[in-house]
Chains A and B, each alone.
Chain A
Amino acid sequence: MATFAPSVPALRPLAPSASQLDVAADLLALLRDTRTEPRPDDRLEALTLAVAADLPVLLWGEPGIGKTSALTQLADSLELPLTTVIASVHEPSDFSGLPIVGDDPAQQGVPLAPPDWAVRLVREGRGLLFLDELSTATPAVQAALLRLVLERRIGSLQLPPGVRIVAAANPRSSAADGWELSAPLANRFVHLQWTHDHEVVVRGLGGTWPRATLPRLDPQRLPDAVDRARRAVCGLLDVRPALVHRLPGSETRRGGPWPSPRSWDMTVCLIAFATAAGSSRDVLSLLVRGTVGDGPGLELLAWLDRMDLPDPEELLADPENAELPERGDRRQATLEGVVEAVKARPSKERWDAAWALLVRALETGAPDLVVVPATTLAALRQEEWDVPDAIERLAGAVSVSRRADRSVARAVTAGR
């Protein structure tokens, strides 16, 4: 396919006596000559935001699907030096410190010497530490690593705040050894599932790898972002207290994310970061579901959805120029919100404005969405209120409604 053809660098003319290794080097140079193309990548964006928010991230994914290359790209974009530590080739002492017996252990104790890469990280003060292949390390190594992730200590060294940590593990079902995340540990991570994208891999092997444009935090939006994040989480937990703390019950959910005050706190943080970066709903969804789990995460997203609907009061204030959501289910929810607002504080003006809004909805979208809000609104009429002219224009909705009623009646009779 034409799009896969890489640009061929000019080969230097080979002397007839060129050694086989020189020819091999040329072939390798050709193979390595790849290009990149911009391509949005939700998971990479989610990872970037979580790392920027200084939360420990755990990437779950089979080996060989490009976790390391994603981390390389992330380190580039955050301008952090990348330190990769393959956990499975290390010993526990490489993370908890090597005990060194000095002249007089009884007097001076046995110091725990940190490994060189840790010393370099601390000296540099900043960096991205990638702990790869956690799941194939022995349990003792895993235990030592978790202290590193959670307490940020290696032996007697304390990692500076500028160091960010990302870990990677194989899914539990394919883990060769006994990798098992206990519930308290799982609760401290943002879990991201890493899978390969067929299209990206095929294009990449053809010579063009994707280059994600990573999110930039907008300094203007910071206060709003914090406000939105706090309102969302507090609003939801206010009405759903059962979601505040819920240990994972079944074997299938073991080792995954679950809701607790700690993970909700992380969620507030992540919503604020995603809002400040202007990230898409998909990125936010990955982050939220990876922090508190699917069920509570989806409830929070639904809550955010409702928060993001147009404000009924604003719509009622200017029904002629109202912007209603395109998507049918959101539009219906908005209209129902408007009717609720009228019901909460009824007045003739608000009632008329609501009718005008329904007419606008009918003229710009599907008529069946208007039927239920119109019926509810009609029921709110008080005796002295005259029927507004706008109602005439709702004829389409009325006929749709009648037709549906007759059709239901026919179906019910036929079913008997």
Chain B
Amino acid sequence: MSADTSVGVGAETGGAEGGTPGPSAPLALDREKLFAARLHAVKVRPYLATALFALHVVESRRVPTMAVDRHWRCYVSPHFVARTPVEELAGVWVHEVAHLLRDHHGRGDRVAKQRGLTGAGDRLRMNIAADCEINDDVYGDGLAQPEGAVLPKLLGLSEGELMEDYLRQFRLGPWLDDMAAWLDCGSGADGLEREWDLGPDGAHGLSEQEQDEVRFRVAQGITGRPGDAPKGWRRWAEEVFHPPQPWRELLGAALRSAASGSGGGTDHTYGRPSRRSVALPGIVLPSLRRTPPRVAVVIDTSGSVSDTELGSALLEVTAISRAVGGRSDLVTVLSCDAAARIVDPLCTAEGIPLLGGGGTDLRTGFAAALRTRPDVVVVLTDGQTPWPEARPYCRTVVGLFPRPRTGSSYENDPDYRPDRPPDWARVVEIG
């Protein structure tokens, strides 16, 4: 192609030019520079192309830098574009689209609701926490880190955590004034409407379902070629449509359904006629019968499970089984290891008889549990154990403590799989 460039070459090193024109001089948005930066971002992060291209650019003089709203519009200050080098602008593009892909506004709203955070200061903290979540691994590898980007390191925090976790770990303070080049990422980053937002009725917004479709395509691109994407993006792609569920509630649901399914719990029965039958001659009515389930809890204490984790899971199990009608004398706890350190004090406090087991083989634990004739067996384990080959006569719920993946053989051997619990057990991942 023979065409030559004649525009905008000189402005490329804009950062070196220093001072920005005063607000009185209307500066046109250098679209070419802005889009060259987006192209840069697409070239070095091809899996983000769909999302980057789906953003609708809105020129705005009220935005300090670049900002996004929850409808996937990107507000751009012409002055910011003029004074920022292209490679840094590319980093800002990726940063802003990351806020939207990771649903920081929705998560911010949920956190605000849960923790009762109402002030503007809290929203500012959310923006900072969200920035930390993004910035720790999106830059490098062909993408320049924009000046003034907030890193967890600056706040004295560790890397690789989520916005919700960072939010707990710092307060606003005088350190904020030192960060002169603060990036206000707009309502797309923290959920707080800005004065420049076009709102839900403005043009070129993406509906929630459209946003989901863009997220899905980006996630597909990442999971399709996971080697190319940094860890943070891979984790995002894995969890975006199937976030880890609250194990407490899942364990409760699994236990309740197991307890009421096989003869235990409350149910109608024709075994005994209803008292209503007396008033309705000739009609057979069932009666409501309550049979509290017997629950046996087997604890594998051999694994690398922390005392607090195991203790909270065990407390949860006994609380749930009591809620479904199991009286405390119907709950049996067995430890499948000599180290009965958690189980002992807990069970003494809760009045649960402790039978004790032997070895780290869960099969003996199962056998001991089944001797108590339970309606449900609950197993708390990290899964590194042989499982019984035959299906036990009663329902089985497994609370599985996931083994930490870092530094283990997972990284070196992609084909390595630990023994999964058998199909007949309901498995809930804990923690």
Contacts and interface: CB of A to CB of B under 8 A. Distances in A.
Interface of A: 91-93, 98-102, 113, 138-141, 172-175, 177-180, 250-253, 280-282, 285-286, 294-295, 298-299, 301-302, 305, 326-329, 331-332, 366-369, 371, 374, 378, 387, 391-392, 394-396, 398-408, 410-412, 414-415
B40 interface: yes
Interface stretch (B17-25, B334-342, B359-367, B421-429): B421-429
Contacts of A369: 53
A298 B212 contact: yes
Interface in B207-258: 207-210, 212-214, 216-217, 241-242, 244-246, 249-250, 252-254, 256-258
Nearest to A402: B5
17 contacts: A91-B268, A139-B260, A177-B260, A178-B265, A178-B324, A285-B209, A294-B241, A299-B216, A301-B213, A305-B213, A327-B56, A327-B204, A329-B49, A366-B35, A368-B36, A387-B1, A408-B87
Contact of A366 (B57, B241, B254): B57
- Among A174, A281, A329, the one with the most B-chain Cβ atoms within 10 Å of its Cβ is A329
Nearest to B139: A415
Contact of A178 (B35, B86, B216, B257): B257
B36 A407 contact: yes
Given A93-B286, A395-B5, A329 B54 contact: yes
Contacts of B254: 251
B40 A408 contact: yes
B284 interface: yes
Given A98-B283, A286-B209, A328-B54, A138 B40 contact: no
Contact of A401 (B4, B37, B39, B249): B39
Contact of A140 (B90, B208, B286, B426): B286
B32 interface: yes
Nearest to A412: B142
A111 B9 CA distance: 90
A286 to B, nearest CB: 7
B368 interface: no
Given A387-B2, A395-B3, A302 B217 contact: yes
A379 to B, nearest CB: 11
A104 to B, nearest CB: 13
A251 B212 contact: no
Interface string B128-140: 0000000000001
Contact of B1 (A175, A302, A394): A394
Given A138-B268, A175-B253, A101 B212 contact: no
B4 A395 contact: yes
B36 A294 contact: no
Nearest to B141: A415
B292 to A, nearest CB: 14
A328 B6 CA distance: 26
Interface SS of chain A: helix, strand, loop or mixed? Answer: helix
A38 to B, nearest CB: 15
Interface in B9-56: 9, 12, 31-33, 35-40, 42-44, 49-56
A394 B2 CA distance: 10
Contacts of B214: 329
Contact of B142 (A139, A401, A415): A415
A223 to B, nearest CB: 27
A185 B173 CA distance: 55
B3 A407 contact: no
B213 A404 contact: no
Contacts of B148: none
Contact of B288 (A138, A286, A392, A406): A138
B146 to A, nearest CB: 11
A285 B3 contact: no
Given A173-B246, A400-B35, A403-B8, A251 B285 contact: no
B291 interface: no
A406 B12 contact: yes
B430 to A, nearest CB: 11
A399 B31 CA distance: 12
